[in-house]
């Protein structure tokens, strides 16, 4: 009996301004819980075998630079990404505003229909009484306006919350693939 291995590799790129916790999210997901001083990322890549909804997946995570001037390096990975994790820090209004002014336009210019998961980091450090905070209404408005697929608030150091981010990535990719297949089938049958 010949068995056919179905490739269940999902590639996602994590983007957002520098110092919002992107690299720590990746490290927490792969099980590296060490805390290091901040060092700007140009590009790192992680590959993790994970299980979701009874299936095994290889999750390929591209941790991209948060510096706006590294666009040429960063956007190379966009074409192969099946989902984006778009991060901002709950207590950093500038990082949230960059979502609309920089990150979504950059992503949508190259990847119009690729799923995007909006991730608010710094949940563990968030103080509801600070003036610089982003309100729930504001991120819900961004989700609605740009068709964001999911939203997660997390601490970059909390394994369960970080796992939720990547579960949303896999769920969004699965839904996107089913929708594309359905559209192709509908188009073929309409002929």
Residues 6+ positions from 141 with CB-CB distance below 8 Å: none
Q: Is 3 a member of any domain? A: no
Q: What is the span of the domain harbouring residue 88?
A: 9-189
Q: Is 103 a member of any domain? A: yes
Q: What is the pLDDT of residues 147-187, one digit of tens each?
A: 999 999 999 999 999 999 999 999 999 998 877 665 555 55
CATH number, domain containing residue 126: 3.40.50.300
Question: Percent of the chain scored above 70 by pLDDT?
Answer: 81
What is residue 69's DSSP assignment? G
Q: Is 38 a member of any domain? A: yes
Calpha distance 57→74 (Å, rounded): 24
Count of the separate structural domains present in the chain: 1
Q: Residue 4 — very low, low, confident or very high, per pLDDT cuts 50/70/90? A: very low
The tokens 């075998």 sit on which residue? 49
Q: Is 4 a member of any domain? A: no
Which pTM was predicted?
A: 0.86
Q: Is 83 a member of any domain? A: yes
Q: Is 179 a member of any domain? A: yes
Calpha distance 107→118 (Å, rounded): 13
- 69 versus 93: the higher-pLDDT residue is 93
Q: Is 87 a member of any domain? A: yes
Q: Is 1 a member of any domain? A: no
- DSSP code per residue over 165-188: HHHHHHHHHHHHHHHHHHHHHHHH
């Amino acid at each position: 009996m010949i068995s056919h291995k179905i490739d269940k590799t999902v590639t996602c790129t994590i983007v957002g301004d520098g110092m919002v916790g992107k690299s720590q999210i990746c490290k927490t997901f792969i099980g590296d819980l060490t805390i290091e001083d901040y060092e700007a990322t140009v590009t790192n890549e992680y590959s993790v075998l994970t299980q979701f909804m009874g299936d095994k997946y290889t999750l390929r995570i591209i941790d991209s630079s948060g510096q706006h001037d590294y666009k040429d390096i960063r956007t190379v990975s966009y074409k192969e990404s099946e989902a984006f994790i778009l991060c901002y820090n709950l207590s950093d209004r500038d990082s949230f505003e960059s979502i609309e002014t920089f990150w979504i336009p950059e992503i949508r210019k190259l990847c119009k229909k690729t799923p995007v998961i909006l991730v608010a980091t710094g949940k563990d450090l968030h103080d509801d009484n600070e003036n610089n905070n982003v309100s729930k209404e504001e991120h819900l408005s961004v989700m609605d306006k740009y068709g964001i697929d999911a939203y997660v608030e997390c601490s970059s150091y909390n394994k369960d919350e970080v796992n939720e981010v990547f579960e949303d990535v896999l769920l969004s990719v699965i839904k996107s693939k089913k929708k594309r297949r359905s559209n192709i089938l509908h188009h073929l049958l309409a002929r």
